[in-house]
């Protein structure tokens, strides 16, 4: 069984798009694949509420669950518990979908070639935060989203697939963000399905970095 675990922190819109596409495209019947767990770092997140209503297996785990520990100790404890939860699923793929934690190199290495992320820019441009604002300030003609392998270096893993969105002269940050997110909802399920179709690692194309 190809168990897919999705990690979220907020609205979970990409998680929802993946789950809905998995049902529509019959991943279980065609690829022996299922979303076996949705894990949220926020017990009040909208994504968690949606996943629960959809009947998915869910769990909450937060770095805030360790109030008696130092910051470094809490991070270590959180990631140790996270790995334990994920390993119970024997995940074929760990999907970060609005997961607002930067994982340590040891955790990333533990899931090497099994952990992917989606980033709201055409990597390698605009790693990190505020990508839409930065694209507008730079006068970009095109913007978009990238699915990539997760590595210890932030937003630097090999590119799996991208979606391109034109930047319009009338765009505000909110307008551009909305169009990019619409493409993310198509791109992320497609990238995962391509992996399921090949039955092997997603083809990752290295770009100049």
Annotated catalytic sites, by residue? 119
DSSP collapsed to 3 states, 181-200: HHHHHHHHHHHHHHHHHHCC
Instruction: DSSP letter for 170, please.
Output: T
Q: Which of 86, 95, 76 is nearest to 148 (CA)?
A: 95
Q: Distance between CA 144 and CA 167 in Å, rounded?
A: 9
Q: Distance between CA 204 and CA 53 in Å, rounded?
A: 34
CA-to-CA dists, residue 9 to 40, 68, 164, 166, angstroms: 5, 22, 25, 28
* Six token digits for residue 78: 């959180």
Beta 33-40 vs 58-60: how paired, if at all? parallel
Which segments within the chain are labelled E, that is strand? 2-8, 33-40, 58-60, 93-96, 115-119, 142-149, 159-166
């Amino acid at each position: 069984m190809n168990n897919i675990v999705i990690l979220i922190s907020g609205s979970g819109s990409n998680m929802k798009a993946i789950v809905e596409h998995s049902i529509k495209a019959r991943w279980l019947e065609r690829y022996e694949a299922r979303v076996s767990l949705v894990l949220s770092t926020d017990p009040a997140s909208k994504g968690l509420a949606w996943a629960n209503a959809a009947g998915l297996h869910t769990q909450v785990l937060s770095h805030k669950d360790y109030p008696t520990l130092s910051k470094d100790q809490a991070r270590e404890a959180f990631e140790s518990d996270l790995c334990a939860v994920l390993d119970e699923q024997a995940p074929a793929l760990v999907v970060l979908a609005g997961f607002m934690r930067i994982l340590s190199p040891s955790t990333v290495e533990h899931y090497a070639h099994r952990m992917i992320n989606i980033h709201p820019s055409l990597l390698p441009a605009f790693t990190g935060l505020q990508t839409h604002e930065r694209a507008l300030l730079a006068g970009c003609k095109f913007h978009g989203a990238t699915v990539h392998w997760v590595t210890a270096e932030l937003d630097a893993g090999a590119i799996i697939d991208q979606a391109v969105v034109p930047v319009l002269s009338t765009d505000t940050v909110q307008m551009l963000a909305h169009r990019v997110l619409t493409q993310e909802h198509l791109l992320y399920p497609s990238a995962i399905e391509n992996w399921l179709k090949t039955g092997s690692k997603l083809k990752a194309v290295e770009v100049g970095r």
